[in-house]
Amino acid sequence: MDLLVSDLSDRNVKGEVIAVFHGDATPLVLNDDAYNANRHVQTGHPVHTGNPYGKLITGLMDPGVQIELCGATAVANHWGNADLLPGVKVNTNAMVPVTQLEQQGFTLIYE
């Protein structure tokens, strides 16, 4: 995703990147405390504590990548806005925004 954002910027191409997280990918958008709880990481562990992807995700938001979380997954895991990285948006579920974005001309890329 970072490469896509860089390519758009380097070529001065107008584009919009929206990443919709659902299923097994959703812990990537959690803040450190929620990530630790979800992954059963003991707080204070010298090596593995906090969301190791947090800086990557927030770094993608800086140039304008919109990060969204499947609301159904959030509900199933009992996550609220306070559990998420700042700036992450929550949708009702992943399929609705993906379908709407495809109808608006966005291209779906699975990673």
CB 60 within 8 Å of CB 1: yes
The pLDDT of residue 13 is 60
Q: What is the mean pLDDT of each run of 10 residues along the chain (111 residues)?
A: 54 76 94 93 70 94 91 96 97 88 86 62
Question: Any idea what DSSP says for residue 29?
Answer: G
Is this structure's pTM higher than 0.85?
no
Question: Any idea what DSSP says for residue 44?
Answer: T
Q: What distance in Å separates the CA atoms of residue 22 and residue 69, rounded to the nearest whole number?
A: 6
3-state SS assignment for residue 59: helix
The pLDDT of residue 40 is 87
The pLDDT of residue 44 is 63
The pLDDT of residue 52 is 93
**2-103 maps to which CATH number?**
3.40.1260.10
The pLDDT of residue 1 is 47
* Closest alpha carbon to 88 in 74, 109, 107: 74
Cβ contacts of residue 108 below 8 Å, gap of 6+? 98, 101, 102
